Amino acid sequence: MNTTTETPVGGVIVTPRRRLRVSGKLAWLAVTPFAAWAVWRMGGLERGSFPAQIMTATPYAAAGSLLPVLLSVLSRKKAVTVVALATTAALGTGVLPRAFGDVPVAGAASGVPFTVMTSNLFFGHGDARTIVDLVRRNKPDVLSTQELTPAAVTELDAAGLKDLMPYRHLQDEWSAAGSGIFSRHPITPLDGLFPVIGHNMPAAKLTLPGGAQVELVDVHTLPPLGRQVTQWTEGLRALPSGPSSGPFRILAGDFNASLDHAEMRGVVARGYRDAGDVTGRGLTPTWPAGRKLPPMITIDHVLADRRVSVLDYQVYTVPRTDHRTVITRLSLPAPR
């Protein structure tokens, strides 16, 4: 749009309005890394330690991809605009479903209630009183712990966990490898259910009042750091698949992986549903907690086999640990 101004001598001066315009080169420069990220993410092409680590930042890349869209529109270049829009759409398709969740299954709440709690204790330093208070208030049937040390077991029991969850299958150690399952119901250790690659990952079977049977795996894979990325990959692939019959199976713990990792999506595809994803809280970050910066990525999960309905999913901060605690309420089909 132009503006006009009359002059004292009767003439008219026409002043064209300047329109903001961005160079096509700048637009291409902005969109290229995001387009590469989208191809990387959609194709599950992350390989090696560094790509596996930065892939957890995909939700932030999806949000950031809106800037190249703006720059491409201002450049008035059709090709770069199409690429920018396709990039944002691809990243959004991978991320946004976690914020909306699935349609609740009719009649799910009428099944057998079962609540799972999982907490990484950061070398046993997680505040025992807070964890036991969460157990009292939420009444989980099982508690899956990672980085469980012998001292942490003592502190948890002193805070009251022994009375609330007297049954347990523990593989505690004085290191990050320690893990343990605590339960309100009698449990039986399940040895040989799958090859354990990574930290200790105890598995146990429990029978609920009424007869429903559940198998729980306390997951704690190695992080994809340096050469450990190979064991991280193998550890995720070794996790047992979700069954279609027999006891219900639940995987709960610190997977050191997000749903933006192809390997993690592969685990889910083998017969599971991610509780955070199902409830629309799949983007709630769980790590790193207790630091100056807020938690940024989601690597703690509860996976339930596809016969199980997910009713609720909550995340809590526990002092002195770098992971947030996850509590998931499930509904098991009633035994026939």
Structural domain boundaries, residue 41: 16-99
Give φ, ψ of 128 to 5 degrees.
-65, -40
Same domain for 206 and 182, yes or no, is yes
Mapping DSSP onto H, E and C, the string for the chain reads CEEEEECCCCCEEEEECCCCCCCHHHHHHHHHHHHHHHHHHHCCCCCCHHHHHHHHHHHHHHHHCHHHHHHHHHHCCHHHHHHHHHHHHHHHHHHCHHHHCCCCCCCHHHCEEEEEEEEECCCCCCCHHHHHHHHHHHCCCEEEEECCCHHHHHHHHHCCHHHHCCEEEEECCCCCCCEEEEECCCEEECCCCCCCCCCCCCEEEEECCCCCEEEEEEEECCCCCCCHHHHHHHHHHHCCCCCCCCCEEEEEEECCCCCCCHHHHHHHHCCEEEHHHHHCCCCCCCECCCCCCCCCECCEEEEEECCCEEEEEEEECCCCCCCCEEEEEEEECCCC
Residue 122 token pair? 């950061």
Sign of the C-alpha dihedral, residues 311, 317, 318, 320? positive
Instruction: Please indicate, yes or no, if residue 255 is contained in any of the structural domains.
Output: yes
Same domain membership, residue 155 and residue 84: no
CA atoms within 13 A on the CB side of 187: 27
Is the domain of 120 the same as that of 36? no
Q: Is residue 8 part of a domain?
A: no
- In this prediction the pTM is 0.92
**Residues 274 and 193 placed together within one structural domain of the fold:** yes
In a domain, 149, yes or no: yes
Q: How far is CA 229 from the centre of its chain?
A: 18
* Residue 146 in domain: yes
On whether residue 4 sits in a domain, the answer given is: no
Both 205 and 318 in a single domain?
A: yes
User: Strand 309-316 and strand 325-332: pairing?
Assistant: antiparallel
Shared-domain flag, residues 164 and 273:
yes
- What is the domain count for the chain? 2
Domain closes at, from 60, 80, 99? 99
Same domain, yes or no: 41 and 138: no
Instruction: List the chain pLDDT tens, one digit each, 336 residues.
Output: 555 555 555 555 655 566 678 788 999 999 999 999 999 999 999 989 999 999 999 999 999 999 999 999 999 999 999 999 999 999 999 999 999 988 776 566 779 999 999 999 999 999 999 999 999 999 999 999 999 999 999 999 999 999 999 999 999 999 999 999 999 999 999 999 999 999 999 999 999 998 999 999 999 999 999 999 999 999 999 999 999 999 999 999 999 999 999 999 999 999 999 999 999 999 999 999 988 889 999 999 999 999 999 999 999 999 999 999 999 999 999 877
Residues 224 and 307 in one domain: yes
Pair (281, 186) in one structural domain:
yes
Q: Is the same domain home to 22 and 162?
A: no
Q: Residue 65's CB: how many other CB atoms inside 10 A? A: 24
Instruction: Give residue 12's pLDDT.
Output: 59
Q: Match 């997951």 to its residue by tokens.
A: 219
Same structural domain, 52 and 145: no
Q: 7-10 long-range contacts, Cβ below 8 Å, gap at least 24?
A: none
**Backbone phi and psi for residue 66, each to the nearest 5 degrees, phi listed first:** -70, -30
Residue 107's pLDDT is: 61
